[in-house]
């Protein structure tokens, strides 16, 4: 199968996808030529973006800050939730220290952060 070779081709394919999107919906039959073309082009774009625009895994610090925001927690509340000192939470959030395995487990469980992110895998 062909691949998108450069940014110009990528932009052209993206424009074509934008043209096809209004023509295809949930009720479109699987043998519809627009749906087939959209599916093929989407696969090509996905492959190109995976190679040229990879999405990096978030760091533990980024995830902790995001979860704190989502859960409405400040550092003091987070320290209480994890059962550690505020200064230790501050050190984790600044990236000065890595959590122990016990604390990493608590971070994963209580903040609902994937263990791979917590462990840096």
CATH number for the domain formed by residue range(s) 60-118: 1.10.260.40
For residues 24 and 21, what is the distance between their CA atoms, to the nearest angstrom? 5
The Cα diameter of the chain in Å comes to 61
Cβ contact 23:39 at 8 Å: no
**What are the tens digits of pLDDT across the range 57-82?**
888 999 999 999 999 999 999 999 99
**For the chain, domain boundaries:** 7-52, 60-118
Cβ contact 2:44 at 8 Å: yes
Q: How confident is the model at residue 116 (pLDDT cuts 50, 70, 90)?
A: confident
Full-model pTM: 0.61
Give the whole-number percent of the chain exceeding pLDDT 90.
85
Tell me how far CA of residue 62 lies from CA of 92, 95, 121, in angstroms: 11, 10, 15
Tell me how far CA of residue 45 lies from CA of 48, 50, 85, in angstroms: 5, 8, 47
pLDDT > 80? residue 120: no
């Amino acid at each position: 199968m062909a691949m998108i070779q450069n940014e110009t081709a990528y932009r052209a394919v993206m424009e074509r996808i934008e043209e096809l999107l209004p023509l295809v919906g949930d009720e479109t039959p699987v043998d519809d030529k627009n749906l087939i073309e959209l599916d093929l082009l989407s696969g090509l774009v996905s492959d190109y973006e995976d190679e040229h625009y990879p999405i990096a895994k978030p760091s533990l610090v980024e995830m902790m800050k995001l979860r704190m925001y989502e859960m409405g927690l400040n550092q003091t509340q987070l320290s209480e939730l994890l059962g550690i000192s505020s200064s230790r939470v501050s050190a984790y959030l600044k990236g000065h220290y890595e959590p122990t395995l016990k604390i990493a487990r608590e971070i994963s469980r209580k903040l609902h952060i994937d263990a791979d992110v917590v462990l840096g895998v």
